[in-house]
């Protein structure tokens, strides 16, 4: 028997201390502000051929056991079984749909019809298991900033999960009406949803500040509470995302779309850089992936970074029709920076300090050379809308706005490189989540309809049933109506948790 190789996690800003996977999941973010990274990326212990016969759950086990090495087989299989069940509206969990000769990996068949469900339906189970393993007595308070989709997916994952509370901050005017309605109608006594006057980066910065607030942590501990993060910086979010890239490759192989060992490209509509980093991990585990194509909307900070080696958030923040990608600080990029800095935590910490103080940093030529696996580009609002309309007119398949950004960028990639190898595009949301933008792109005339009339019209023209997640919110009452300034976030958190006097 091969002894399984343990994977430990250290901070991208201090490689001194190592923690186990379960400890990293519990903490979310390291105390020094860094992100937890595995000390090595494990290679798959079975061949892609062996995976062909496996369903999603068994594939998840094969991948996740290699990262979460302090979980027992029983613990991990239990988490997987609870996550990937009938909450998903298809047994295959993540179907591949062929359109225009490209494969769309539909990651939106979970409870909230966006890809965040892929990780957030398992995270609560990983977290509770981690708490038990580490004899944590405190209740876990999940604190999350959302650009729209994380919030609902996290609320849905954690609602009524014993031993947890969840607080979600979202930019009051920065999410789609459907996204907002999904969040503010969330049931569960342990849930709390707050709109802030500000954009996603304000929400995320506020949340990070609260995480690093020692005084608040002490007050919470006195009340038997501790914070953790469900944001995509949590390693418990990242690891489950590696699974579907492995699964997608096995599906292509199973359907004879590719030969064993044949390389594929992966295109990912990117915001916080979590999903594409998972694809990068999949490549490093041994999945034959050629290019990782990073697609941005008009907030094209990542495109500029890949072009120049300068990361510069000092620019106008744009509200686009793909709000989950309206991000100027891609948190998970730090994990890649750490890696291309040769695992030099001090060097990475210096760059991140520059980012927080000047809003920018520059990587060395030596670091840039290690980005050869990546290709970056962006699509503006018109290109995105055109892509939705063209795809619909050509094939009848309706893309959501985020996936359309990826699809438009893929066209640019093909015209730039003439690369014709098989390509998988991560389809990150159902078009029903961004109905107005999608329908307007198909035909301006739809703009006069109400949100739910649009839903019914989309169902008709796209020939797809209205997802359960949308039916549910049609008539649901608003439960959460708190709105606050970004400076009031701490007071709001304390009030919800019932601790101390609001400042
Ligand atoms: C979150 C999200 C993205 C961006 O994913 P990252 O992992 O943050 O890069 C893209 N599309 C949709 C629909 C999302 O919800």
**Cβ pair 111, 469 in contact under 8 A:** yes
**Cβ pair 285, 461 in contact under 8 A:** no
User: Which atom of ligand 1 lies closest to the CA of 271?
Assistant: 9
- pLDDT at site 216: 96
Å from CA of 147 to ligand 1 middle: 9
- pLDDT at site 1: 43
**Cβ pair 115, 147 in contact under 8 A:** no
pLDDT band at 4 (very low <50, low <70, confident <90, very high): low
Cα–Cα distance for residue pair 59/439, rounded to 1 Å: 36
Structure tokens given for 434: 């961004």
pLDDT in tens, 446-500: 999 998 999 999 999 999 999 998 998 888 999 999 999 999 999 999 999 999 7
Mean pLDDT of 384-397: 98
Asked if the model's pLDDT at residue 394 lies above 90, the reply is yes
- pLDDT at site 209: 92
Asked if the model's pLDDT at residue 319 lies above 50, the reply is yes
Q: What's the farthest any 2 CA atoms get from each other in the chain?
A: 65
Q: What percentage of the chain exceeds 90 in pLDDT?
A: 87
Neighbours of 5 (CB within 10 A): 11
Mean pLDDT of 283-298: 98
- pLDDT at site 178: 84
Residues with CB under 6 A from ligand 1: 114-116, 149, 232, 269-275, 324-325, 402, 428-429
Cα–Cα distance for residue pair 257/23, rounded to 1 Å: 40
Which residue from 111, 269, 299 has its CB within 8 A of the most atoms of ligand 1, so it is best to mutate?
A: 269
Å from CA of 430 to ligand 1 middle: 12
Å from CA of 153 to ligand 1 middle: 12
Which residue from 110, 428, 430, 437 has its CB within 8 A of the most atoms of ligand 1, so it is best to mutate?
A: 428
Mean pLDDT of 436-442: 97
Å from CA of 339 to ligand 1 middle: 22
Which residue from 112, 114, 232, 238 has its CB within 8 A of the most atoms of ligand 1, so it is best to mutate?
A: 114
Which helix (H) or strand (E) segment holds residue 98: the answer is strand 96-99
Mean pLDDT of 193-220: 92
Mean pLDDT of 287-303: 98
Structure tokens given for 326: 């309206």
Å from CA of 269 to ligand 1 middle: 7
Å from CA of 179 to ligand 1 middle: 13
- pLDDT at site 502: 47
Q: What percentage of the chain exceeds 70 in pLDDT?
A: 99
Å from CA of 122 to ligand 1 middle: 17
Q: Are strands 482-485 and 191-197 parallel, antiparallel or unpaired?
A: parallel
User: Please, which residues bridge with residue 141 across strands?
Assistant: 165, 227
- pLDDT at site 135: 96
- pLDDT at site 408: 98
Mean pLDDT of 136-161: 90
Between 35-39, 253-257, 421-425, 498-502, the lowest mean confidence (pLDDT) is in: 498-502
3-state secondary structure 271-314: CCCHHHHHHHHHHHHCCCEEEEEEEECCCCHHHHHHHHCEEECC
Cα–Cα distance for residue pair 183/177, rounded to 1 Å: 10
Å from CA of 276 to ligand 1 middle: 9
Closest of 329, 370, 371 to residue 352, by C-alpha: 329
* Closest CA to ligand 1's atom 2: 324
Cα–Cα distance for residue pair 347/354, rounded to 1 Å: 11
Å from CA of 346 to ligand 1 middle: 29
Mean pLDDT of 226-233: 85
Average pLDDT, rounded, for the chain? 94
Reported as half-sphere exposure (CB side, CA atoms, 13 A), residue 369 has a value of: 4
Å from CA of 114 to ligand 1 middle: 8
- pLDDT at site 503: 46
User: Which atom of ligand 1 lies closest to the CA of 108?
Assistant: 13
DSSP 221-248: HHTTEEEE--STTSHHHHHHHHHHHHHH
Which residue from 148, 267, 270 has its CB within 8 A of the most atoms of ligand 1, so it is best to mutate?
A: 270
Between 3-17, 93-107, 340-354, the lowest mean confidence (pLDDT) is in: 3-17
Read off φ and ψ for residue 195, nearest 5 degrees. -90, 140
- pLDDT at site 136: 93
Cα–Cα distance for residue pair 82/63, rounded to 1 Å: 17
Between 78-82, 146-150, 169-173, 260-264, the lowest mean confidence (pLDDT) is in: 146-150
Cα–Cα distance for residue pair 422/240, rounded to 1 Å: 24
3-state SS class at 14: strand
Asked if the model's pLDDT at residue 2 lies above 80, the reply is no
**Cβ pair 312, 359 in contact under 8 A:** yes
User: Which atom of ligand 1 lies closest to the CA of 272?
Assistant: 8
Mean pLDDT of 182-192: 95
Å from CA of 270 to ligand 1 middle: 6
pTM for this predicted structure:
0.92
Å from CA of 86 to ligand 1 middle: 23
Which residue from 324, 400, 404, 426 has its CB within 8 A of the most atoms of ligand 1, so it is best to mutate?
A: 324
Which residue from 325, 328, 406 has its CB within 8 A of the most atoms of ligand 1, so it is best to mutate?
A: 325
């Amino acid at each position: 028997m091969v002894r399984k190789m343990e994977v430990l996690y250290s901070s991208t800003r201090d490689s001194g201390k190592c923690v186990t996977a379960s400890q990293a999941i519990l903490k979310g973010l390291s105390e020094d502000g860094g992100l937890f990274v595995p000390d090595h990326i494990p290679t798959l212990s079975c061949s892609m051929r062996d995976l062909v016969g496996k369903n999603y759950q068994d594939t998840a086990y094969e991948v996740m056991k290699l990262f979460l090495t302090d979980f027992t087989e029983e613990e991990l299989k239990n988490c997987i079984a609870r996550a990937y069940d009938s909450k998903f509206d298809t047994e295959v969990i993540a179907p591949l749909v062929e359109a225009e000769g490209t494969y769309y990996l539909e990651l939106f068949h979970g409870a909230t019809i966006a890809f965040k469900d892929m990780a957030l339906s398992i995270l609560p189970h990983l977290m509770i298991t981690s708490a038990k393993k580490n004899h944590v007595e405190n209740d876990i308070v999940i604190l999350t900033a959302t650009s729209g989709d994380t919030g609902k997916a996290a609320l849905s994952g954690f609602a009524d999960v014993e031993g947890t509370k969840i607080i979600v901050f979202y930019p009051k005017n920065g999410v789609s009406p459907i996204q907002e309605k999904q969040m503010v109608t969330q049931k569960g006594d342990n849930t709390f949803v707050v709109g802030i006057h500000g954009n996603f980066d304000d929400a995320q910065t506020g949340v990070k500040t609260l995480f690093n607030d020692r005084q608040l942590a002490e007050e919470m501990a006195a009340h038997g509470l501790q914070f953790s993060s469900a944001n995509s910086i949590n390693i418990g979010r990242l690891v489950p995302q590696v699974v579907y890239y492995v699964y997608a490759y096995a599906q292509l192989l199973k359907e004879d779309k590719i030969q064993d060992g044949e390389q594929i490209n992966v295109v990912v509509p990117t915001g916080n850089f979590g999903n594409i980093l998972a694809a990068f991990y999949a490549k490093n585990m041994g999945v034959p992936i050629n290019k990782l194509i990073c697609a941005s909307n008009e907030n094209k900070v990542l495109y500029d970074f890949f072009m120049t080696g300068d990361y510069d958030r000092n620019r106008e923040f744009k509200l686009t029709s793909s709000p989950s990608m309206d991000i100027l600080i891609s948190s998970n990029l730090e994990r890649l920076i750490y890696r291309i800095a040769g695992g030099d935590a001090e060097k990475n910490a210096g760059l991140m300090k520059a980012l927080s103080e000047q809003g920018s940093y520059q990587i060395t030529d030596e670091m840039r050379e290690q980005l050869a696996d990546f290709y970056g580009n962006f699509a503006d609002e018109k290109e995105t809308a055109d892509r939705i309309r063209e795809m619909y007119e050509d094939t009848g398949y309706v893309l959501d706005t985020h996936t359309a950004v990826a699809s438009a960028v893929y066209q640019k990639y093909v015209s730039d490189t003439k690369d014709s190898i098989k390509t998988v595009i991560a389809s990150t949301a159902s078009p029903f989540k961004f109905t107005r933008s999608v329908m307007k792109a198909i035909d301006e005339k739809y703009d006069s309809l109400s949100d739910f009339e649009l839903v019914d019209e989309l169902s008709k023209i796209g020939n797809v049933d209205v997802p359960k997640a949308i039916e549910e919110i049609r008539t649901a009452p608003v439960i959460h109506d708190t709105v606050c300034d970004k400076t009031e976030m701490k007071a709001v958190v304390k009030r919800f948790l019932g601790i101390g006097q609001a400042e």
